[in-house]
Every structure is written in structure tokens, then in C-alpha cells.
Copies of this chain bind each other. A is one copy, B any other.
Amino acid sequence: MSHNKIANKLQNLQSSAIRELLKHSKMDGVISLGGGIPDPNLFDREGLQIAMDNVLTHGWKDAFQYGLSEGSPELRGAICQLMKERAISCDIDDVVVTSGSQQSLDILARALINPGDVVVVERPTYLAALQVLQLAEANLMSVGTDGQGMIVDELEALLKTTSVKAVYIVPTFGNPGGVTLTEQRRQQLVALSQRYDFVIIEDDPYGEINFTDKTFTPLISWAAEMGVSDNVIYTSTFSKILAPGARVGWLVVPEWLKRQVVNLKQATDLHTSSLSQSLTYHYLNSGRLADQIALIRQAYKQKCLVLSQHLQNELGDHLTFHQPMGGMFLWAKFKYEMNTTHWLQKTLSNGVVYVPGEFFYCNEPDRSTLRMSYVSTTEENLKEAVMRLKTALN
């Protein structure tokens, strides 16, 4: 049987290094700073149990039956409420429930991108977004980031010479970079989308995991204020704040894209698990989410602090990094030439893994970088991980 070119392309994306990493990170005694996997000890077991009791008592027929491709009206209504708390104004009809952010991105890539269309991402950017964009045969270009997020001036320079279809960005507590786009740059980016007629895909999985008192205005809210609502598509998920296993995320889509997105959702899997949607609705309805988010924020903030302090103390001569203001990741860079993909072999034999930075680039990879997740490891192990990294430098 002959293999298909697209499938082969996807195969190439899954580098053997990443496979090795995933395999070894589950070995006994290895401390993983690898995946962005929520700490299961923080799951709100009681709240989820109560929500499930409600599903099975009041809505079991709906929970086990086919539903609408765009998602259940109850859940979409509850999501609109949640959006309000994030300063995003939307209507039930603007919301499409998906089976998590990954599916949101895949559907958007299929809806928007023709082979060869230019899509701009941050450098570095989210690994799995690269995957679906490459699968859609986008022509990927990247723009640098600094401590204030994407360098929008660099994007503007690119726009002067290149016709861009879409910009993909994680503006708040980014993955992998951990940085947050400033308000000034947010406005600048949205203004550019109007001037140069491109779509912004605003991916916001981590916005609620805020370690500060500051709030950040979503790009979609700036777009509404600036009268260019058609230019921003917003996606978020319950994976990081409730339970990734339920696979529930959502999109807020402008009118012109709605029909295509719903049709693609239908072609993809008819609709997201009614059971997961019902559970999520009843959980939101219980009013427990705010406390749950507060709990996660506090715990991840503390873990982030432990990791960053120990990195500074023990490896400050070797590594430089921006202190995350939220999210799940710390992105570090060696102060000297280093190949973190090669180094992984050594740290692995010392019992610690991370994700080498090069996988987060669509081009010009900076191989002296690495991404460390602090969320699913105990504080004790975070300290131990830093010591193991240090030993691996000798």
C-alpha cells in the first residue's frame, strides 16, 4: 500500500526525539518537566462528582444522545457568561463547542487555510499549532518575541512585503515562551489586521492562570472596541482549569465564518461528547469554577516560584529566562551555545526531562532554549529536578 503525502508529512513532524522523551518521561524515578499536564491532585473531585450526579439525575437522556454540532445551547449559554467575566461580549450563536483547543485549531486551519497561504506564528510558538497548520499546508512564517510578547513591529515589516492570511498567537502567558503581549502591542496587532486584512487566531488556554493582579484585554475585545470584530477568532478550553480528560473547548467565531466552522465540526465528529458537555455545564452552573481557578492559580504560582528561584540560584550563570506572570511554562535559554536536544540524553540519564526548544520553531530554531512545565511536579521534585539539571552540566 502506498503512503499518502500529507500523512507522511505529519509523520515527519513527530520527531523521534519527542517520542523518546514521552517514552522516558514515564519511567520510574524520572522527573518530567515535559508536558503541559494539569496536576490531577488539584481536580475538583467533589465538584465533578456533584455535576455528574446532576447529569445522571436530570439530563441523562440528553447526555447519552446525539446533540447539535455547534454544542448544547445550555453549555454555550454558560460559556457566554464565562466570556463576560473575561471582558468578552458574545452571543450563544457566536460560540461553537469543540473537543478541546487542539480540535479548535484543526478546524480553523481546515476552514481558513488553502495550501500555500501564509500564516504567521510567534517564534517560538505552540508545537501542536505548528502541526495542524503544516497539515493544512500553510506557508509558515514567524515573528520574534521578547519579554513583551510578539514583536509586532517585526510583523508590520513582514506585512509590507507579504500577503498574510492569518496570525496565530497565544497572547497571554504564552506556550512555550511564558510571555504576555502588552496592551499597546495588542492594539497595534488588531489595527494591523484591519490595515492588512488578515485574521487573528487568539488562543487563550492559560489566561485564567494569572499569578498577578493585572488583567489583560483579549484581542477579541480590542477588536470589538476598534470595530473590527470580523478579524479575530478566539479559542479557549476547560482543559487547564477543569479537566482535560473531558475534552471540552470552544471557539468564538465571527458571523462570516460560523457556517463553515459548524459544517467542519459536523464532518469531523458530528459533535463533542454530550456527556462531557453536560458535565461541564452542570459544573459551571454549580458556581464552583471561580474557587477552582483560584486554587489552581495559587498552587501553580507557588510551583513556578520554586522552579524559578532554584533555577536562578543554581543555574543563574548558565540560563536566562523571563519570570512567568501566569500559565504553565517557564522558557529558558542558555547564555552560551548549547544544543538542548543533545543535552536531553544526558539529563535523561540523570533522571529529568524537559522539551527541547527547537520543536517550537517553524524555522530558525534556537537550539539553546528549553521549555519546562512546573505544574504536574511537586515542589520537592522541582528542586530536585534543578539539581539534576545542574549535575548534567558537569
A270 and B247 contacting across the interface, CB-CB below 8 Å: yes
A276 to B110, CA, bound (A): 26
A247 to B266, CA, bound (A): 13
Question: Given B56, B99, B114, which contacts A49 in the complex, CB threshold below 8 Å?
Answer: B56
A114 to B9, CA, bound (A): 13
A52 lies within 8 A of chain B by Cβ = yes
A25 lies within 8 A of chain B by Cβ = no
Number of copies: 2
Q: State the 6 A-B residue pairs at the shortest beta-carbon distance, nearest first.
A: A245-B274, A7-B260, A64-B243, A103-B269, A64-B245, A99-B269
A336 lies within 8 A of chain B by Cβ = no
A97 lies within 8 A of chain B by Cβ = no
A106 and B1 contacting across the interface, CB-CB below 8 Å: no
Question: Given B3, B7, B40, B260, which contacts A110 in the complex, CB threshold below 8 Å?
Answer: B7
- Which chain B residue shows the least CB distance to A110? B6
Interface string of A61-89 (1 = CB under 8 A from B): 11111110000000000000000000000
Question: Given B6, B62, B263, B271, which contacts A7 in the complex, CB threshold below 8 Å?
Answer: B263
Task: Find residues 259-285 in chain A having any chain B CB closer than 8 Å to their own CB.
Answer: 259-260, 263-264, 266-276, 279
A263 and B11 contacting across the interface, CB-CB below 8 Å: yes
A158: chain B residues within 8 A (beta carbon):
none
A275 and B246 contacting across the interface, CB-CB below 8 Å: yes
Q: Of A40, A230, A243, A254, which is in contact with the most chain B CB atoms at under 10 Å from its CB?
A: A243
- Residues of chain A touching chain B, judged by Cβ–Cβ distance below 8 Å, are 1, 3-8, 10-11, 13-14, 35, 37-38, 40, 43, 45, 48-49, 52, 56, 60-67, 98-100, 102-103, 106, 110-114, 128, 131-132, 135, 197, 199, 230-231, 239, 243-247, 254, 256-257, 259-260, 263-264, 266-276, 279
B259 and A273 contacting across the interface, CB-CB below 8 Å: no
A276: chain B residues within 8 A (beta carbon):
273, 275-276
**Chain A residues touching B, majority SS:** helix
30 sampled A-B residue pairs with Cβ under 8 A: A3-B260, A4-B111, A4-B112, A4-B113, A4-B114, A6-B111, A7-B110, A7-B263, A8-B260, A10-B264, A35-B66, A40-B65, A48-B56, A49-B60, A52-B52, A52-B56, A64-B244, A64-B246, A65-B243, A66-B245, A102-B268, A106-B268, A243-B275, A244-B274, A245-B275, A247-B271, A268-B268, A269-B269, A273-B273, A276-B276
Task: From known contacts A1-B199, A245-B67, infer whether A269 and B111 are also in contact, taking CB-CB under 8 Å.
Answer: no
A113: chain B residues within 8 A (beta carbon):
4
- Which chain B residue shows the least CB distance to A256? B1
Task: From known contacts A64-B243, A256-B1, infer whether A267 and B110 are also in contact, taking CB-CB under 8 Å.
Answer: no
A231: chain B residues within 8 A (beta carbon):
1
B273 and A99 contacting across the interface, CB-CB below 8 Å: yes
A4 to B115, CA, bound (A): 10
A6: chain B residues within 8 A (beta carbon):
110-111, 114
Question: Given B260, B268, B271, B279, which contacts A275 in the complex, CB threshold below 8 Å?
Answer: B279
A136 to B13, CA, bound (A): 21
A1 and B230 contacting across the interface, CB-CB below 8 Å: yes
A266: chain B residues within 8 A (beta carbon):
102, 128, 131
A199: chain B residues within 8 A (beta carbon):
1
A13: chain B residues within 8 A (beta carbon):
263
Other CB < 8 Å A-B pairs besides A67-B245, A269-B269, 18 of them? Answer: A1-B257, A3-B256, A4-B113, A6-B110, A8-B260, A11-B263, A14-B263, A43-B61, A48-B56, A62-B245, A98-B269, A99-B99, A244-B274, A246-B274, A273-B275, A275-B275, A275-B276, A275-B279
